[in-house]
């Protein structure tokens, strides 16, 4: 049966309709001047759909097929490449020319013929580490792809030393050591409460493995690290065997569950983890964490209930305290859904977050869409500098790009993909991170749309392999 997306609740006509193609644009159209010291590659992921999912699919698109974008910068020019990740799952469905996998992270809804095929859709995040460009999805082990051609090269278990069944899409790279702190939850299989935390050295070898038990089955989408600790928040989005057997996607919000935050010493073992407890907080992504004496602070976007407004808050964990409570304060009321930072300062004392945010439109019309702004938030003072993006656009996750040969925090650029609803195509917006109020420096124009993305990362050419396919 031919593919037909019409009538599916996940695909109203519009910007997020499936795109379903690989693409190459050599020497993209650029409005403005791209600084020549931007030399490297911006990667981003999006979820796309080759085949029509079940009607009760999770209404987020997070069960779509991974599609990776590569914007390669050189001497003021940009070459674009977009590729589906050739996962075992996608290839199996293409072979049969139909959807075989069921709803989000629910194998009970799969076609029996795919029971032994890796469920990973490889659709969430990319990281370059140990000589590999990983494409991650938290329910499986990573795939890796060629950083230039984006050819899918296979899945990876770190020379057999990563024994957990899952690896989250949000490992952390310690800028001081080059180590990757990776983890998996539901690490011994679906619905298990096992968490595995790995230290992987700069050359990609596992050097440490710690197994923990989560206090309850909740989503652990992201972690944070300091120089001494791994911070593991368990959020009140839960699941059950009954839910999966009823055919529903994995997660449901349960506001009666607490927020549990595990603080694991990086040089410690499972017995050393300390769990802090607070009321339910809705959050998935964490900005950064730092050690301050014997306390740990972490900044993050969060809301008090499932559907409350988002704010950037700070959680403080006093390791001297005998209480299991932690403290909370508001850093900024900007929505700040996906804050990023200068990753060279990850786990260290830092000051700035970069955020694609929304502010009320200047127009008097209350139904006017929100204005889209690229923001720099000073997490120490709450001060915000911002650049408004003109037109009917929505911004995807921002990414900080350090200026070449500069080591100062925040000296560089902010890159953001804008969904342009006027043209039904996508633009890459480039701004100067230290002078956002001066406006957009350059816009890379794509002649087609990129669906709403998940996450982005930047790697300078100096850390990537030499380019052999200059003209491809």
Segment lying near other proteins (by CB under 8 A), choices 24-32, 135-143, 297-305, 406-414: 297-305
Q: Shortest CA distance to 85 belongs to which of 100, 70, 103?
A: 70
- Residue 369 in the binding site for other proteins (CB under 8 A): yes
- Residue 131 in the binding site for other proteins (CB under 8 A): no
- Residue 290 in the binding site for other proteins (CB under 8 A): no
Segment lying near other proteins (by CB under 8 A), choices 135-143, 147-155, 158-166, 255-263: 255-263
CA distance readout (Å), 50 to 233, 327, 424: 34, 45, 20
- Choose between 26 and 216: whose C-beta lies nearer to other proteins: 216
- Residue 189 in the binding site for other proteins (CB under 8 A): no
Going residue by residue from 426 to 465, which x/- string records binding to other proteins, judged by CB under 8 A?
A: --------------------------x-x-----------
Angle at the Cα of 390 (from 399 to 126), degrees rounded to 5?
20
- Residue 326 in the binding site for other proteins (CB under 8 A): yes
- Residue 39 in the binding site for other proteins (CB under 8 A): no
Which ranges in 267-416 belong to alpha helices (H)? none
Among 1, 115, 309, 362, binds other proteins (CB under 8 A): 309
Segment lying near other proteins (by CB under 8 A), choices 106-114, 142-150, 251-259, 402-410: 251-259
Each residue of 227-262: b (16+ CB within 10 Å) or e?
A: ebbbbbbbbbbbbeeebbeeebbbbebeeebbbbbb
Contact 121, 65 (CB under 8 A): yes
DSSP string, 428-468: EEEEETT-GGG-EEEEEEPSS----EEEEEEEEGGGSPPPS
Which ranges in 268-382 belong to alpha helices (H)? none
Segment lying near other proteins (by CB under 8 A), choices 71-79, 142-150, 169-177, 306-314: 306-314
Work out how close the CB of 16 gets to other proteins at its nearest, in angstroms, rounded to a whole number: 5
Going residue by residue from 327 to 366, which x/- string records binding to other proteins, judged by CB under 8 A?
A: xxxxxxx-x-xx-----------------xxxxx------
Q: Which residue's structure tokens are 């939850």?
A: 185
- Choose between 190 and 394: whose C-beta lies nearer to other proteins: 394
- Choose between 126 and 310: whose C-beta lies nearer to other proteins: 310
Segment lying near other proteins (by CB under 8 A), choices 24-32, 87-95, 223-231, 414-422: 414-422
Paired tokens of 406:
């500069």
Among 151, 308, 390, 437, binds other proteins (CB under 8 A): 308
- Choose between 147 and 171: whose C-beta lies nearer to other proteins: 171
- Residue 307 in the binding site for other proteins (CB under 8 A): yes
DSSP string, 45-64: EEEE-SSPPPTT--TTSTTS
- Choose between 93 and 397: whose C-beta lies nearer to other proteins: 397
CA distance 102 to 111: 7
Among 69, 106, 140, 283, binds other proteins (CB under 8 A): 283
Among 38, 395, 430, 441, binds other proteins (CB under 8 A): 395
Paired tokens of 441:
């420096």
353: CB partners within 8 A, 6+ apart: 287, 288, 299, 312, 336, 339, 340, 341, 375, 376, 377, 379
């Amino acid at each position: 049966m031919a593919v037909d997306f019409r009538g599916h609740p996940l695909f109203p006509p519009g910007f997020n309709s499936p795109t379903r193609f690989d693409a190459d644009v050599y020497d993209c159209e650029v409005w403005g001047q791209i600084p020549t010291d931007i030399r490297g590659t911006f990667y981003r992921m999006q979820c796309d759909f080759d085949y029509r999912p079940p009607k009760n699919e999770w209404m987020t698109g997070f069960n779509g097929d991974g599609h990776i974008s590569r914007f390669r910068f050189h001497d003021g020019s940009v070459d674009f490449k977009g590729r589906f990740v050739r996962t075992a799952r996608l290839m199996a469905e293409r072979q049969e020319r139909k959807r075989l996998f069921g709803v989000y992270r629910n194998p009970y809804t799969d076609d029996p013929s795919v029971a032994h095929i890796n469920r990973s859709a490889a659709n969430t995040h990319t990281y370059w580490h140990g000589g590999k460009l990983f494409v991650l999805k938290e329910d499986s082990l990573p795939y890796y792809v060629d950083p230039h051609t984006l050819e899918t090269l296979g899945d990876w278990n770190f020379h057999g030393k990563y024994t957990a069944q899952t690896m989250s899409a949000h490992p952390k790279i310690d800028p001081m050591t080059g180590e990757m702190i990776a983890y998996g939850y539901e690490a011994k299989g679906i619905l298990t409460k096992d968490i595995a935390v790995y230290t992987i050295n700069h050359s990609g070898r596992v050097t440490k493995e710690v197994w923990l038990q989560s206090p309850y089955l909740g989503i652990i989408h992201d972690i944070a690290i300091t120089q001494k600790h791994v911070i593991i928040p368990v959020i009140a989005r839960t699941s059950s065997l009954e839910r999966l057997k009823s055919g529903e996607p994995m997660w449901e919000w349960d506001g009666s569950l607490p927020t549990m935050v595990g603080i694991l010493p990086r040089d410690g073992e499972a017995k050393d983890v300390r769990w802090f407890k607070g009321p339910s907080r809705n959050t998935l992504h964490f900005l950064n964490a730092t050690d301050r004496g014997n306390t740990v602070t972490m900044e993050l976007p969060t809301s008090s209930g499932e559907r409350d407004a988002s704010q950037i808050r700070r959680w403080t964990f006093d390791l001297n305290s005998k209480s299991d409570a932690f403290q909370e304060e508001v850093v900024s009321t900007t929505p700040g859904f996906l804050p990023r930072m200068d990753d060279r300062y990850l786990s260290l004392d830092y000051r700035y977050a970069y955020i694609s945010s929304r502010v009320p439109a200047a127009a008097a019309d209350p139904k006017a869409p929100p204005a889209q702004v690229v923001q720099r938030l000073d997490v120490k003072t709450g001060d915000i500098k911002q650049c408004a993006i003109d037109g009917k656009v929505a911004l995807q996750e921002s990414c900080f790009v350090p200026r070449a040969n500069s080591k100062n925090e925040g000296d560089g650029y902010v890159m953001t993909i804008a969904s342009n609803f006027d043209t039904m195509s996508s633009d890459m917006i480039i701004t100067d991170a230290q002078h956002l109020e001066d406006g957009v420096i350059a816009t890379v124009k794509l002649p087609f749309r990129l669906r709403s993305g998940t996450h982005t990362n930047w790697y300078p050419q100096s850390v990537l392999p030499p380019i052999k396919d200059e003209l491809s």
